[in-house]
Structure 1
Amino acid sequence: MFQRRKRIEVRAASQVSKLAKMSCPDKIRPASSIFPSLGITSVACVCLSILFVFGLTACDRMGASRHAQLVQDADTKSAQGDFARAINLYEAALDDSESTRNAEVHYKLALLYDDKLNDAVSALHHFRRYLALSPTGAHAADVTNSIKHDEIAALTALSGDSVITRAEAARLRNENLNLHKELETRAAPARGVTDKSQESNTTSKKTTSKQGDRAYVVQSGDTLFSISRKFYKSPTHWKDILNANRKNIHDPKKLTVGQTLVIP
């Protein structure tokens, strides 16, 4: 009995000694050592944000340069007389630009339709878009006058619900002018000697005023409207040019290339 109790005590002591020799668990490590990648991730996010901002700036610059190139190519085609290609390039610039840059493109398109293609309806659309985008822009006054002119031209080309050709509209206008001339011719014999003296005075004044007139040779695509804008920076003087060249201009809508006009 005594020996059995002694064996149990020896076994218990050996177990306790084994427990004492067992190593303690490791100390709890800080979060930074467990997740060493957190600092690197935050730095990477900052770098990506910077790259994103620079990418947006670069894209904006590329868009601006592409827009400028399209407008420049369109200007070149317009100067070469390739109006259809110029219109396509201008419209591409409209699709590729912001609204702040669209106003100038609308103005250039309106001039092409108005001065080169004699399309008052299309010109009206682009003139109005210009005013909507830039109501106080550099061309606002010119655009306002052009809209008034084109509205009259568009209405002239319409007769009721049917559309008449520009040639027919021009013929009607010429007949109206001829009627006015016939009325003036019939009224001329009834004037007295005083009228003749006044007429001679006005004729002398005209001859003196003609000394300051300029000569211009009509080029392809020219209209009275575009020539007025070229010399006076406004389309409103087209009637003055017409009145100064009544003998040479038979159809105000169809100028002859190479024809010399007097610019008052």
Structure 2
Amino acid sequence: MSDPSTESVPARVRSDVAHNARVWNYWLGGKDNYPVDRAVGDQVTGMYPSIGEVARADRAFLGRVVRHLAGDLGITQFLDIGTGLPTFNNTHEIAQHTVPHSRIVYVDNDPIVLAHARALLTSSPEGATEYIDADAHHPEQILRSVEPTLNLRQPVAVMMLGILNFVLDTGEARSVVSRLMDAMPSGSYLVLTHPTLELGGEGNEEAMRFWNEHATPPITARSRTEFAAFMDGLELLDPGIVSCAQWRPEPGAPAAEVAQFGAVARKP
């Protein structure tokens, strides 16, 4: 995608406007992005130099959480909403490496993401991997589409990493989470990350304002209190709400704080 003029671009794709999935891919060192994505990504980095660390910490958090849920807690079903472009250590790769019969449903509505996902996201013979075109704003559509890949009578890990920040109205974002978790059985888990202007993220405010003027979709940060409210009625796993880099870091690994909340909670 580095040279859009030589590649087939899905009809719905705007290659003249930066898009989050592609800019995030750029920050992670991927090649599935356009010049406009790199230009906006560089501008944001200039305004908020630690954004690349946030992206990498968020990705590492995903790996630690999936290994813990699958390997230690016996969760074998994952609903990953707002997947983004496939890169390294995707949810299904980690889950199925840990427990080969794990079943994963990815959800996104970006055409570039969908095109790449269908080509790259394969499954272990024992498990299943599915990709559905749906918007996080419409949880009922998601829930109608996940079966039969997922059995909603058995525990599911609902993964929403860096996605609720695109649901700008906090009441609506809470409603999305509630409707999803209401449909999950006891023993299911909610996994969240979310950008914040706390945890040293104050410098990100100007960068977010620039993003909302020059890229899509628009984004918002939230406070610890607002983030915690997404998990009302659920049981937080230790260490609770922390910088995603500091959620059960690997022994001996650096865990510098980044301005991205991370948490995992269980439905009783």
Q: TM range, normalised to the smaller chain?
A: under 0.3
Calculate the TM-score normalised by the size of structure 2. 0.22
* Structure that is richer in helix per residue: 1
- Using CA pairs below 8 Å that are at least 6 residues apart, which structure has the higher relative contact order? 2
